[in-house]
Structure 1
């Protein structure tokens, strides 16, 4: 059976590859990034290039997607994508984006409203769940916040907009490490069902501790050991940073240094607040990787190889995100790091695709359904998972 799917804001197509490995068929992908277009073309993928706002303004019926995909609206199984919401990210200085109704999220909602797929998948940063529409003035008491200044007010708009389309939705923050990805990476996942089907979020398959090694977290070492001696394209650290990193053990960071080196390494940041765990961080073969960002060489989010005095290479980045070795990613080193760092790991995409197929085919078991909600949270604690897993059903 065919499951024609339309992908928006596709990037390097990590989510798409995961969905395809589950059995969905990505008929067309879309993005405004020229290097993402080149990546898609290099891998023989059907692609629509352009600003989604402009494309929809010129063709509100979304026929530009349907024609390119060679499908009719009533044949579309799912619309998937992650409308950019960088202002919600917790990775940097967080600012309010303003009303989501003025963002690219509304174009994503327009495509769903127009095409009416059986399902939709929206992924985004974890910070969206607690972001406000308007950033409160510094020093203002929470009891005096307006409705738009309240934490979560932006997500309230997102949730209400999707529900108003007539879709039943479930949402939650999922950590990719729980789905066989060698990386801690939390993403907000929202699934929608047009026909009020009993949709649910993926149930974790991998755990910190498990009696069967098959179901344990995948580690950085498992992902990169066989390619680390031939890294290929790779960023570099300054000579001064390399000299300091030589004193950091595997799994350590600046706090692992002698006091006199800590002060030298951190400079003015030494006495500042915050965890600062990303400074002079050397990774651990025996753990999943920290979340990959768009560059491994930035001072506060540095990703140093476990034993070599260099950043993770682009090949290692791709392995951690589970791109196939033969997947071509186009551009300069910076362009490639950015595309991979912005991607959804294919293992998480596959788990999401498997949920859609299990619902569509009526194969979701009673046992699987019982693991939803708080029972999932309890089951993770019982097997020793230390990273929180939450499911919310609307």
Structure 2
């Protein structure tokens, strides 16, 4: 027997049919990558739940600065999803009854729970009946589903890392889809690389989209906007993630569109960063160690030619570039490594960086010996080696460093960029540096008018944790079409019934 649609679902469809924007609740919101994409696609961002104080302040200032100071303060409050209930959230934010407050729920549980880097720590609790209490990250998706059940959205989006398809021997995304089926939703998930959708970054993520059955709509994923051949490392990772699909029920999985050669190539790092002002303070001895605050303005280059992507980053509606210039175009001061950055090859990884450092050390030894006209002692040579050569074993950290290729998208930005930025060294050897906060934001597709709270390290972390807004917009646009079509059908039925 077919279940009749819930009253709140029909009420929300009628609201959309009247021309109102769909209202979004963003869970595990971070600084707002998904929110920004949905905002750009015509959604209304009404609430977010985020535990990190810097990230939630960023989110509130970018999406709720038009509210009264009292309401803005309420949106800036860090919240732990394991400790707050849906009705408490809507009460604190003055959003009315929880079942009527939102049309769409989005978000993704922190990926540390699924990523390979964290699995060793979670292995012992993966199948534990109280895993949520032992390590709450492992089952945070259960809290996501709890909020879905309480808010009864028309549609939802969940994002996570590819390992979510094989976490502790089970497919989290398939399990979520099954649970959503019980809640009255049709769910599908897909493994999508953001470089196929106009992001200058090769970032594989799993996206699950679900519609309430009352919408009577198939779940669709966006078509590719760009085409590329992924490097072997990405292709291998995707193969590992996808091979487990056959072990589980395949009915929920949808293969992503990769387009073909008729599409434009990917957005490259040079497309994304080439118009930003050069940074040379570290080469002039004007930079020191310590926290970088965003209190100095760096003006744009007045005569720089803009790529299509750079123009988008400057002209994003509602987040246009500030007239005075950029406040977060700041970098880490890494004096030992400046010459390494300058001389290591484009696309080089840590082994190349280490080899470059050794050559520079050998050259310095020869220079000193020529000047002194004597051979350096082993002690002096060793001391100079420690001063010039990074100490990490080459075999243990092959991917720790990477120098961007200007003719290709960037590798994946991770939250670890908040601790060091060696994974993204600028391709311009003359600048001999790692990427700035604003350049990291550009690679993640945050527009220049989107500001980050806190100092340099928290900003890097927020950016690395985010879903690229352009990818979110692509998904949101497809979801908006589904919602509008469903609302239109509902409106026609109401008219026909009169």
Please give the TM-score of this superposition, normalised by the length of structure 1. Answer: 0.76
- Rounded Cα–Cα distance in structure 2 between residues aligned with 1:5 and 1:288: 30
Higher alpha-carbon deviation: 61-70 or 325-334 = 61-70
1:309 to 397, 419, 432: 432
Q: Is the 8 A contact 2:198 2:225 kept in 1?
A: yes
- Change in Cα spacing, 1:161 to 1:301, as seen in structure 2 (3 Å) is farther
2:273 to 224, 234, 245: 224
1:268, distance to aligned residue in structure 2 (A):
6.0
Gaps in structure 2 of 5+ consecutive residues: 1-18, 65-71, 230-259, 280-297, 299-327, 360-384, 487-498
1:86 to 104, 108, 112: 112
**Quick check: 1:39 aligned with 2:58?**
yes
Count, aligned residues: 337
Instruction: Choose 1 or 2 for highest CA Rg.
Output: 2
1:341 to 459, 464, 467: 464
- Rounded Cα–Cα distance in structure 2 between residues aligned with 1:218 and 1:94: 35
- Rounded Cα–Cα distance in structure 2 between residues aligned with 1:126 and 1:262: 37
Counterpart in the other structure of 2:475:
352
1:305, distance to aligned residue in structure 2 (A):
0.6
Gaps in structure 1 of 5+ consecutive residues: 133-150, 364-394
Q: Is the 8 A contact 1:202 1:351 kept in 2?
A: yes
Residue aligned with 1:26, SS: strand
Q: Is the 8 A contact 1:88 1:94 kept in 2?
A: no
Counterpart in the other structure of 1:207:
227
Please give the TM-score of this superposition, normalised by the length of structure 2. Answer: 0.61
1:250 to 325, 346, 355: 346
C-alpha deviations, 1:221-259, integer Å up to 9, x for none? 111111141575534364333333332122222344695
Counterpart in the other structure of 2:403:
282
Counterpart in the other structure of 1:76:
102
- Change in Cα spacing, 1:14 to 1:37, as seen in structure 2 (3 Å) is same
Counterpart in the other structure of 2:192:
174
- Rounded Cα–Cα distance in structure 1 between residues aligned with 2:461 and 2:177: 28
Q: Is the 8 A contact 1:236 1:297 kept in 2?
A: no
Q: Which one has a larger percent helix, Structure 1 or Structure 2?
A: 2
1:38, distance to aligned residue in structure 2 (A):
1.8
1:125, distance to aligned residue in structure 2 (A):
1.5
- Change in Cα spacing, 1:304 to 1:34, as seen in structure 2 (3 Å) is same
- Rounded Cα–Cα distance in structure 1 between residues aligned with 2:57 and 2:394: 42
